Amino acid sequence: MPDDYTFFDLHAALQDAFGWEDAHLHQFFTSSPFKRERNYQQIALPSPEMEDVLDEREEKLFRWFKNSKSVVWYEYDFGDSWMHEIQLEKKLPQESNKKYPFLLDGARACPPEDCGGLGAYCDLIRINNIIWQG
């Protein structure tokens, strides 16, 4: 994705890549939300329920993805709490003949929308493997 894209653009690209419908709330964290110290910044669409949040429509990716190995976290669907670690692997020169963003890989890389959380997704995979194997 181009550096000047916003976190809202990244959210839209993730929704497209995952085949999701943008039917749930989401947010980004500038460092792991799993650490005891809560030293991250939240980036999301501002709402009365979320205090001190940076507006994802204004926050540019280049501010947080400065070098390879830079990481942010993306949470989608607060009920199922799909948490994704997003890491910059490397920056490539932008090619004029390509439409951005584009997907490089990812077969079976995400759960379907509203599948019921991690446990239900694992059950779906197990059931599908049984069906596929006959």
Mean pLDDT of the chain: 88
Q: Judge whether 44 lies within some domain.
A: yes
Is residue 127, in this structure, part of any structural domain at all?
A: no
Residue 116 is assigned to a structural domain of this protein = no
Instruction: Write down the pLDDT at residue 115.
Output: 86
Please indicate whether residue 130 or residue 96 has the higher confidence score (pLDDT): 96
Three-state DSSP string of 29-81: ECCCCCCCCCCCCEEECCECCECCCEECCCCEHHHCCCCCCCEEEEEECCCCC
State what percent of residues in the chain have pLDDT above 90: 45
> Can you give the residue range of the structural domain that contains 76?
7-104
Give yes or no for residue 107 having a pLDDT over 70.
Answer: no
Checking if the pLDDT of 27 tops 80, the result is yes
Please report whether residue 60 resides in a domain.
Answer: yes
Residue 57 lies inside a defined structural domain of this protein = yes
Query: What mean pLDDT comes out for the span 93-106?
Result: 81
User: What is this structure's pTM?
Assistant: 0.85
Task: Tell me how far the alpha carbon of residue 45 is from its chain's centroid.
Answer: 14
Specify if 32 maps to a domain.
yes
Is residue 125 domain-resident?
A: no
Q: What is the CATH number of the domain that holds 93?
A: 3.10.290.30
CB atoms within 10 A of CB 80: 19
| Confidence check: pLDDT of 123 > 80 | yes
pLDDT in tens, 37-50: 778 999 999 998 88
Summarize the confidence of residues 68-78 as an average pLDDT.
94
* Assigned domain for 119 exists: no
